[in-house]
Amino acid sequence: MIGPRRGRGPDDDVLFAPAALPALRAATDDLAWLLERGYADRAALALVGDRHNLRQRQRLAVARSAAAAPALAARLARRIPLAAVAGRPLVIDGFNGLIVVETALAGGVVLRGRDGLLRDLAGVHGSYRRADETDRAIAALGEVIAEAAPARTTWLLDRPVSHSGQLRARLETVAAARGWPWQVELLDAPDHALAHSPDVIATADAIVLDRCAAWVDLTGPAIARAAPRAWIVAP
């Protein structure tokens, strides 16, 4: 069963219009400044959001884009170029990567965080349903992975998320049709596995990025390939 599109919200044309970007960027700067000084994430975001009179989706965009300078520097130090994945095992945060590419294909808002990674405003909240863009998103990511030529590719999906088994089957079907030797695993806590993996990982989850051994950006090249006119906002 195919669910709703991952496109833009009803007010996004206003909330993320060019005129709104200066306030969003100032808020992202302010949030990073507060985080660097030990403020709790939630309290800092409330303070910044109130100061800049941000709506809820704008606050979420700021939260997903900001990073304290020391954490950002450490995170970027663990980034490796796509070409360096060749011959190394690759582990992918499945829902995390797939949904942002689906969103880009559907014309929704995609955020470029201060770490350069692309993120969506949707995410998974206990449920996932295949969208019209799912197969194209899988194909776009798959083509980037195939060109990177990792030693092996493992997709991790959250077992507790509804329909995760159906997505696993879809990934396996597309991979088989394209000759991609993927392994797809359902785990109760994939974030923990990603954060502690010795292999190269692909995710935009900030908590995982701040703990992993090495990471690579797959969604940026996939979106550039499949949705060159994607709506990318850099708060």
Residues 136 and 169 in one domain: yes
- 51 assigned to some structural domain: yes
What are the pLDDT digits (tens) for 34-53?
Answer: 999 999 999 999 999 999 99
> Are 173 and 225 members of one domain?
yes
Q: How far apart are CA 173 and CA 159, in angstroms?
A: 19
**What's CA 21's distance to the chain center, in Å?**
21
Question: Which residue segment(s) compose the domain that 122 sits in?
Answer: 80-233
**Residue 124 reports pLDDT greater than 90:** no
Query: Is residue 7 assigned to a domain?
Result: no
Q: How many domains does the chain have?
A: 2
pLDDT digits (tens, 9 = 90+) for 135-149: 999 999 999 999 999
**Structure tokens that stand for 114 in this block:** 């201060």
Say if residues 162 and 128 touch (Cβ distance below 8 Å): yes
Q: What is the pLDDT of residue 125?
A: 62
- Candidates 117, 181, 122, 124; CA nearest to 154 is 181
The answer to whether the beta carbons of residues 59 and 49 sit under 8 Å apart is yes
Residues 132 and 211 in one domain: yes
Beta strands in the chain (DSSP E): 89-93, 109-112, 118-119, 152-158, 182-187, 200-202, 214-215, 231-233
Q: Please indicate, yes or no, whether residues 153 and 180 belong to a single structural domain of this protein.
A: yes
At 201-235, the pLDDT tens digits run 999 999 999 999 999 999 999 999 999 999 999 99
Q: For residue 94, is it within any domain?
A: yes
Q: Is residue 73 part of a domain?
A: no
